[in-house]
Amino acid sequence: MAKSYKTLYRKLPDELFDMLAEHYETSVLDKIYAGFMSERPVTLRVNTLKYSTRQVMEIFRSENIKFERVLWYDDALIVRNLREKDLEKHRLYQEGGIYLQSLSSMIPPLVLNPQSGANVLDLTAAPGSKSTQMAAMMQNKGFILANEINEIRAERLRYNVERQGTTIIKVRRGDGKRLEAEWQQYFDAVLLDAPCSGVGLFQLDAPQTYRGWSPKQVRELSKEQKKLLERAFWALKPGGILVYSTCTLLREENEGVLEWFLNKFSGAVILENLGFSLTGAEQVQRFTKPVGQSTAVLTVIPSALYEGFFVAKMRKLV
């Protein structure tokens, strides 16, 4: 392990360690660094619009595909004896009956908990993991506007929406900061899984996960996150629910963005109860007081099973 830590410190920028150390206790930092050095198994979500979880499990058992259930989500499975590229060849994947997705990525839609028949906005939606998850949660009843600014990613989003058999998702290709006036206060629920520096996804043996990271990138992304969060709030109905999530662990992109937001918008409040329990996960449930009020946010620490993630749940009062 000493050799692994030595490699970790050599490969990752000093500034990253400094920024993490400003925000986390040593015991938590040790878990984060161990998470960076972990290799996670393949995880998937059953698309209940096409198959039940029981049907998928029966197929897997018949083919000797070894899997485990996930305590906090009935439709999620952990596969132990196949790689992603193997599962991508499986007929269930080809038919859209399963969707390969990290466990942490499944959390924000569960926290948002959109109801059947609701109007929902996924402001930065590609490749469609969370949009299609929400469509299944809503039993394909209601409306989801899935927005993506990048043309190539928007095409991937359309492809996944079609393959998953969802009929309530409309894909909009455009800047999420410039939604049309018709969408103002239109949505019952909004998910902003914001573009971020991806620190929670860092894996030591996958240089592409951390190669482009820099403090400058973090500062630029923080500005973008604030603009997107402002537009997400603009699109939300009074009384509606907004979930802000990232796959980073840095305060500048997480709590710092929320502090700015709550100071600017008095009509927003962070909900103490996420309405969701992450049973069995290595996590930190951290409480902060950004504007003199107690606020609850969830930080999932990266591990051998989970990517690092940050989730906060808000209500629009007026």
Task: Give me the residue spans of the domains in the chain.
Answer: 42-100, 104-316
Please check whether the two domains, 42-100 and 104-316, share a CATH topology.
no
Look at residue 288 and tell me whether its pLDDT is greater than 70. Answer: no
Q: What is the DSSP-derived secondary structure letter of residue 41?
A: P
- C-alpha to C-alpha distance for 257 and 223, rounded to whole angstroms: 9
Active site amino acids: 247
Lowest mean pLDDT among 73-87, 190-204, 233-247, 268-282: 268-282
Report the percent of the chain where pLDDT is more than 90: 86
- Maximum separation of any 2 CA atoms in the chain, in Å: 57
pLDDT interval class at 278 (50, 70, 90): confident
- For residue 318, the model assigns a pLDDT of 84
Q: Which CATH superfamily is domain 42-100 in?
A: Sun protein; domain 3 (3.30.70.1170)
pLDDT in tens, 159-194: 999 999 999 999 999 999 999 999 999 999 999 999
Report the percent of the chain where pLDDT is more than 70: 94
pLDDT interval class at 274 (50, 70, 90): confident
CATH number of 104-316: 3.40.50.150
Whether the CA torsion 298, 303, 304, 309 is positive or negative: it is positive
- C-alpha to C-alpha distance for 126 and 195, rounded to whole angstroms: 11
Average pLDDT rounded to a whole number, residues 96-121: 97
User: Are 124 and 176 in contact, with CB atoms under 8 Å apart?
Assistant: yes
pLDDT interval class at 286 (50, 70, 90): low
Cβ atoms within 10 Å of 53's Cβ, excluding its own: 18
Q: What is the DSSP-derived secondary structure letter of residue 118?
A: -
Look at residue 79 and tell me whether its pLDDT is greater than 80. Answer: yes
User: Are 213 and 16 in contact, with CB atoms under 8 Å apart?
Assistant: yes
Please work out, in degrees rounded to the nearest 5, the angle formed at the alpha carbon of residue 313 by the alpha carbons of 276 and 228: 140
Look at residue 292 and tell me whether its pLDDT is greater than 50. Answer: no
Look at residue 62 and tell me whether its pLDDT is greater than 70. Answer: yes
pLDDT interval class at 282 (50, 70, 90): low
